Amino acid sequence: MTRYRGYLIDLDGTLFKGEEVVPAGLSFIKELRKRDLSYLYFTNNSTRRPEQVAEKLRGFGYPATPEQVVTSAQATAAHLAEELNSPDVYAVGGEGLKAALVQAGLRLTESRPDAVVIGLDPTFTYDKMKTACLAIRAGARFYGTNGDLVLPTEEGLLPGNGSLCAAVAAATGVRPVFIGKPERPIVEYALDRLGVRPEETLIVGDNLSTDIQAGVKAGIDTLLVFGGVTTAEEYRKGSIRATYTVRNLREWEFI
């Protein structure tokens, strides 16, 4: 009997690191396919469209289609399409966020939006921040695709979307609602797309405070892979518990 029929798998730090593939990740995905288990690629990155994420994965040798990709941008768009009274949103972020919002039927505008949405934006400016702040002060709701404060890269820790949101929060006194990992909305959205029952789903990732905490918050079992963001030592000292831990994905026995 296989306990886990569905997998939600983190990307950066789990299947690749920056521009380098994680070989154990390749054998892990191969094994999932051989066993005919369901899985989705599950990322907090909101800047790229699913097509671009799939292309990047294929470049590393992973079999990937856009339909297999879940981004925080898509989860945010789905959430807003359900929650807002009007389709008008002001979006600060990359192409991935804007495309997802439009695809969900929302309208991008700077004037009198019902919500301000912030995703990681490498071209973030004072002007965008000003527009966001004025809209929030005028009553727009405030959402962030994900709350990651920093972004691990080869250059070092860069400012993440949580830091951009923190600037707007400081200037308005309003805290954003976050959708991405570790929050529940992205997990619920992904489960819906995966079509596997929560108790038969496993969240796989390298980051204790996003991937594993997402599972804890949503009541989904988790597999923490060392070798990415969270080290075995940090895990021992921390208080968040994963259901399983492995040194690399080759150790996983597909229970």
Point out which residues bind Mg ion (CB under 5 A): 10, 12-13, 206-207
Q: Distance between CA 5 and CA 146 in Å, rounded?
A: 27
Q: Minimum distance from CB of 111 to Mg ion (Å)?
A: 37
Question: Please, what's the b/e burial string for 87-100 (b: 16 or more CB within 10 A of its CB; e: otherwise)?
Answer: bbbbbbbbebbbbb
Which lies closer to Mg ion via its Cβ, residue 13 or residue 94? 13
Tokens of 25: 């990740």
Per the annotation, does 181 bind a ligand?
Answer: yes
Q: Distance between CA atoms of 177 and 183, rounded to whole angstroms?
A: 9
Torsion of Cα atoms, 9 then 13 then 14 then 19, to 10°? 100
Residue from 135, 74, 132, 129 nearest 106 by CA: 74
Residue with tokens 């963001």: 229
30 known ligand binder = no
Q: Which residue lies nearer to Mg ion by CB, 88 or 183?
A: 183
| 148 assigned to a ligand binding site | no
CB 28 within 8 A of CB 249: yes
Of 44 and 74, which CB lies nearer to Mg ion in the complex structure? Answer: 44
Nearer to Mg ion, 54 or 136 (CB): 54
Q: Distance from first CA to last CA of the chain, Å, rounded?
A: 8
Residues that are catalytic: 10, 12
Q: Which residue sits closest to Mg ion, CB atoms considered?
A: 13
Residue 69 β-bridge partners: 41
Rounded to a whole number of angstroms, the minimum distance from the CB of residue 207 to Mg ion is 5
Flag whether 121 is marked binding.
Answer: no
- Minimal distance in Å, beta carbon 215 to Mg ion? 13
Binding residues for substrate: 181
Instruction: Return binding residues for Mg(2+).
Output: 10, 12, 206
Binding site, by residue number, is 10, 12, 181, 206
